[in-house]
Amino acid sequence: MVKGKRKKVEIAAEPAAHALALGQLHAQVAKLQGDRQWLLKQIRRKRTELDNFMTQMRTIVTEMMGRGAQFMERVQTLDEEIHQLFNQILTTRKLGKKSRGKIEDLYRSLQYQDIISDRPLPGEEDDEDNDFATFVEEMKKQAQEAYSRGESPSESEETDINSRDMRQTFLRLAAIYHPDRATDQDTQAQNTEIMKEINRAYKDGDFARLLELEQQTLNEMVETLESSDDLEKACAKLKRENQKLRDQYEGIKRELRHLRNNTHEGNMVKSYRQAQKIGLDMFAQMEQEAEMEVENMTRVRDFVQNFRDQKITVQEFLRGPEPQRVMVVYRSNGERVVIPIHPDVEDFF
């Protein structure tokens, strides 16, 4: 009698254990779905932050280029004039060996200080420099391409897996929402718009957006699952896709961090925001700095031109012009006023 009762208890326990296991699987699926929703939310938030940063970056660059175009043209014109003047001096002027060497050093010094652009001396061959510059540019290009891909050759297998998962998700969605599968015109029109979103997300490599579009269908599917095998497969699928979402989230954060910290445009955005906080007009300040650069280059051009026209001696030329000391003040209306100060003689170069 005792053995019979024990057998009945064991038989009754099996359905209870099965129900408990299913409940645990359902709970695991629910947790994974919650993780997915959190990841999708974070991706949307971070993508919006990235898009806003890039929009502001483009706006600032466009504004800067527009305001700086006239100054850039003047700087390029002055730069070319200074190079031509030195070329005429070094090719047509009769100079002693020592004086020529000092003038060449002065010419190089202007280039090293970024007062004028880099060019070889008249008659010098710069093939080696060009070869090295080409090599450096090629290395930079390869490094940038590697960074843009965000992967090394050893990661190609993982990339193939990611692409396969994305394509499988795309095909599942296409099978559900293809307009040809609609039974009425309203559904067909709705599916057409959804398919546009699906195609756009797949083309952009936006795995998160594909999963967002799949979410409603997935919820309905999970609610009907009763088999432990099906639930385990659903868990495995969710885990795999959540990992892909984490990778995408980290990729967006990495791209935003790179733009902020490692690009000239990103530094401009940071400078612009900092200037706004303290009430400065960054573009007006840049215009003032550009105007001062033009004024400085104009002084250099005029001084070199005076030597070319033999208005000053070699000794005076090598000594350099008297530096123009000025005091810059701003009136209450923002107008910039430059007040000359009596100069002291010192080496300009």
DSSP string, 301-320: HHHHHHHHTTSS-HHHHHH-
Token pair for 202: 């797949």
pLDDT tens-digit series, residues 71-82: 888 999 999 999
The pLDDT value recorded for residue 231 is 76
Region 252-257: what's the mean pLDDT? 91
Yes or no: say if 103 and 342 are a contact pair by the CB < 8 Å rule: no
Instruction: State the chain's maximal CA–CA distance in angstroms.
Output: 129
Higher-scoring residue by pLDDT: 83, 60: 83
Yes or no: say if 252 and 43 are a contact pair by the CB < 8 Å rule: yes
Residue 14: C-alpha distances to residues 4, 6, 40, 51, 136 (Å): 16, 13, 39, 55, 71
Please return the burial class of 317, using the count of CB atoms within 10 Å of its CB with bins 0-12, 13-18 and 19+. Answer: buried
Yes or no: say if 224 and 18 are a contact pair by the CB < 8 Å rule: no
pLDDT tens-digit series, residues 104-113: 999 998 898 8
Yes or no: say if 314 and 99 are a contact pair by the CB < 8 Å rule: yes
The pLDDT value recorded for residue 342 is 41
Residue 82 makes CB contacts below 8 A (sequence gap 6+) with: 110, 116, 297, 300, 301, 304
Q: How confident is the model at residue 152 (pLDDT cuts 50, 70, 90)?
A: very low
Mean of the per-residue pLDDT values for the chain? 75
Q: How confident is the model at residue 346 (pLDDT cuts 50, 70, 90)?
A: very low
> Which residue in 214, 249, 246, 207 sits closest to 47, CA to CA?
249
Higher-scoring residue by pLDDT: 331, 267: 267
The pLDDT value recorded for residue 153 is 39
